[in-house]
């Protein structure tokens, strides 16, 4: 029996695989940098690769008829980018790009499909993440429609914090321009909401960087949507200690 090295990739899904399954994937994985604003997919373009982020954060953004953009989903080290491939589609209707620079592993889309057919365990892991993505997208839509901007910003900062480390006092490079796009509002609205959270002592926002000062209080200030999404992830991946929480 061939020896498979005990490799920790930093991506929760890959690190949840048994050594034999990971060994089959390893020759097909290419590590690449994921620089800020790199476009992974554009609407209607053929999906050539799927991505397993190790560091950084990916945004899935819908563009409306008036050219306004709003984020509908995010992915970090907890998952993979390329959900349409698992649903037998070869394009995405959304823009998918790097919002916070990092690194990741990529694989040809056709190879992932073949490996998912070969390994029931790998296929199950991927489809559980697909289910999580559906929960995240639907909860984000409900949140954007019903909750205040302050609560939505708090939720979004918590989501980013989970994917970028999850520790107290972590600083995240997030500009007002990006935050406005992610929340589907104008930049003055982001400035007011961020100022409110800063005045309450929950965050520090300076020169395009956000530092979470009091995570527990920030969670209290957010809507319940953050907890719904995080609990869905933990329910779908209960046996995997590395994936039981995004950043913990």
Q: What is the pLDDT of residues 42-100, one digit of tens each?
A: 999 999 999 999 999 999 998 877 777 888 899 999 999 999 999 999 999 999 999 88
In a domain, residue 4? The reply is no
Residue 121: inside a domain, yes or no? Answer: yes
Question: Are 128 and 237 contained in the same domain?
Answer: yes
> In this structure, is residue 5 part of a structural domain?
no
Rounded mean pLDDT, 96-124: 96
Q: What pLDDT is attached to residue 6?
A: 56
- pLDDT tens digits for range 153-188: 999 899 988 888 766 557 888 888 878 877 778 888
CA dihedral 105, 175, 189, 171 (to 10 degrees): 80
Is this prediction's pTM over 0.85? yes
Mean pLDDT of the chain: 88
CATH of the domain at 46: 2.60.120.10
26 and 113 together in one domain: yes
The number of distinct structural domains making up the chain is 2
User: What's 28's DSSP letter?
Assistant: G
- Report yes or no on 65 lying in a domain: yes
Rounded distance between C-alpha atoms, residue 174 and residue 154, angstroms: 13
Please, which residues have CB within 8 angstroms of residue 16's CB and are 6 or more apart in sequence? Answer: 125, 237, 240, 242, 243
Q: Are residues 171 and 215 in the same domain?
A: yes
Question: In which domain, by residue range, is 153 found?
Answer: 148-222
Asked whether residue 133 falls in the same domain as residue 115, the answer is yes
pLDDT of residue 112: 97
Task: Give me the residues paired with residue 107 across strands.
Answer: 50
3-state helix vs strand vs coil in the chain, percent to 5: 45, 25, 30
- Report yes or no on 7 lying in a domain: no
CATH code (residue 215): 1.10.10.10
Q: What is the pLDDT at residue 3?
A: 40
Instruction: Identify whether residues 99 and 211 lie together within a single domain.
Output: no
Look at residue 92 and tell me if it is in a domain: yes
Please report the pLDDT score of residue 243 as a whole number: 43
Same domain membership, residue 127 and residue 32? yes
Q: Does the pLDDT of residue 138 top 80, yes or no? A: yes
Identify the pLDDT of residue 1.
Answer: 36
Helix (H, G, I), strand (E, B) or coil at 43: coil
């Amino acid at each position: 029996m061939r020896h498979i090295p005990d490799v920790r990739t930093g991506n929760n899904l890959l690190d949840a695989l048994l050594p034999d399954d990971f060994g089959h994937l390893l020759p097909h994985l290419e590590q690449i940098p994921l620089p800020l604003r790199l476009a992974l997919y554009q609407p209607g373009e053929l999906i050539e690769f799927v991505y397993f982020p190790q560091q950084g954060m990916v945004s899935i953004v819908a563009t409306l008829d008036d050219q306004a953009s709003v984020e509908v989903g995010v992915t970090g080290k907890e998952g993979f980018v390329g959900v349409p491939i698992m649903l037998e589609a070869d394009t995405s209707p959304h823009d998918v790009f790097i919002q916070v620079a990092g690194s990741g592993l990529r694989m040809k889309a056709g190879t992932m499909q073949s490996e998912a057919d070969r390994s029931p365990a790998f296929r199950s892991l991927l489809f559980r993440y697909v289910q999580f993505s559906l929960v995240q997208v639907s909860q984000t839509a409900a949140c954007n429609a019903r909750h205040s901007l302050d609560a939505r910003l708090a939720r979004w900062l918590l989501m980013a914090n989970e994917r970028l480390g999850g520790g107290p006092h972590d600083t995240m490079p997030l500009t007002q321009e990006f935050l406005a796009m992610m929340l589907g509002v104008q930049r003055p609205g982001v400035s007011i909401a961020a100022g409110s959270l800063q005045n309450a002592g929950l965050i520090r926002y300076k020169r395009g960087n956000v530092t979470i000062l009091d995570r527990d209080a920030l969670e209290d200030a957010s809507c319940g949507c953050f907890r719904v999404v995080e609990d869905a992830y933990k329910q779908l991946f209960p046996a995997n200690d590395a994936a039981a929480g995004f950043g913990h």
